[in-house]
Amino acid sequence: MKTLRTRTWMAALASCLLVMAARAQPSAVPVVGSLARGEYLARIGGCANCHTMPRDGIPFAGGRPMSTPLGAIVSTNITPDPVHGIGRYSFDEFRRVMHEGTAPGQKHLYPAMPYGAYTKAADEDLRALFDYLMRGVSPSDYTPPPTRLPFPFNQRWALPIWKAAFLPSGRYVAKADRDAEWNRGAYLVQSFGHCGACHTPRGLAYQERGHDESSRSFLTGMVNDNWYATNLTGTQGAGLGRLDAESIARFLRTGHAEGNVAFGSMAEEVAQSTQYLTEADAWAVAKYLKTLPAQRNEGVYAPERAEAPGPRKGGRTGDVESVGTRVYRSFCSQCHRSDGKGLEDTFPRLAGNASVLSDDATSLIRLVVQGGTGPRTANGPEPQQMPGFNATLTDVQIAQVLTYVRQSWGNAARPVTTNDVTELKRKLN
């Protein structure tokens, strides 16, 4: 009996030590075991987002077409099925896929798979992810349709040349002059978060024009699949300059903060990926982002000039109310309010909204045309739906109301033209 009690006491002590160790390391994932850690990394890495068909798709079985300037690239089956998935992969083969974008048989992957970010992932994290995919995911014999790109983009022999020119080398190396929390945030943003895949502009060869804070182009915004991923640097207008780290961390986990609401592809990212960040990891990401200096200054928010007369107000043309004013009052003000301040945790504010102030109005136009829905998260408000107005408003009216929004309540951003609207609608059809 004494031996049994001793073993029980030792087991309890070991359990307490494990909990204390997890709490003592704020950047660590608060779970024990490679499988649980791998599941966490798969979630925050968005693996299921790309490798699962929307709505009724089989988890991780692929088949989702990813829109790129090269054409649609179809995601593959990454379940442990030995024939149709990755069930026969060794860890070294899996690591080569993640670090180099090269599958077994010397099959070079298109950079729609963000191996440019995963090349920075630590081996121990990739081992945990591999264990989860092999032992925590159900195998599926689904065979996604092959990717068929037009010539010359279908010439995979050119991909090794592309990699040699543009693929960053080496794992993430912690900066000695930064603390552990900052380094944890930088690691997550640059590797598993692969934020640059959407938020960093790409060059003519579809290469990211920067992979870390040393590049002036890193995370400065880009259009992806007809959504504009906003500037994440410290820009005061269309960037994160006016948000504090706490608000950024809350936005990552709930999709809501300071009147901002995630929409479009970011709503999906929050719902399926970033809401699962631990509080410590969300804070580390936010802390890192807040250290990025302002790049590509775009848009101005000057609330003290909200009632100033002149073209920036956007409400009148001479002595006549503008078309934009009338459309806003008829269709928008009920939710977003006449002062553009929206309703806290329900309808986004438009006054000072970074997406409203971006030079690129792609997302705004698409929202008005097609509508959108906020993310559903465990700890955030109920998602609200914005209706589309494609059948209600003309291209001229959409352009004018967006111009009104971008030039009212202290906002100062370039006008939206009718041609902007017509061109995007052509791409969406």
Do 101 and 94 meet the contact criterion of CB atoms below 8 Å apart? no
Residue among 229, 236, 245 nearest 195 (CA): 229
Residue 212 lies in a domain: no
- pLDDT at residue 319 in the model: 41
User: What range defines the domain where residue 344 resides?
Assistant: 300-428
Residue 324 lies in a domain: yes
User: Using CB atoms within 10 A of its CB, is residue 15 exposed (0-12), middle (13-18) or buried (19+)?
Assistant: exposed
Q: What pLDDT digit, counting tens, does each position of 191-230 carry?
A: 999 999 999 999 999 999 999 999 999 999 999 999 999 9
Alpha-carbon torsion (4, 35, 191, 273), positive or negative = negative
Number of domains in the chain: 2
How many C-beta neighbours within 10 Å does residue 384 have? Answer: 15
- pLDDT at residue 180 in the model: 98
Alpha carbons within 13 A on the beta-carbon side of 65: 12
pTM for this one?
A: 0.88
CATH code assigned at 355 = 1.10.760.10
Q: What pLDDT digit, counting tens, does each position of 112-168 carry?
A: 999 999 999 999 999 999 999 999 999 999 999 999 999 988 899 999 999 999 999
CA distances from 134 to 81, 88, 96 (A): 9, 10, 16
Alpha-carbon torsion (26, 31, 34, 38), positive or negative = negative
- pLDDT at residue 306 in the model: 64
Residue 416 lies in a domain: yes
CATH code assigned at 114 = 1.10.760
**Tokens 């009147």 correspond to what residue?**
259
Rounded to whole angstroms, the Cα distance separating 429 from 425 reads: 6
CA distances from 195 to 94, 140, 222, 298, 398 (A): 22, 29, 11, 20, 30
Residue 71 lies in a domain: yes
- pLDDT at residue 371 in the model: 97
Rounded to whole angstroms, the Cα distance separating 408 from 274 reads: 32
Residue 329 lies in a domain: yes
Residue 312 lies in a domain: yes
- Regions of the chain with pLDDT less than 50: 1-32, 308-314, 317-320
Residue 362 lies in a domain: yes
Residue 97 lies in a domain: yes
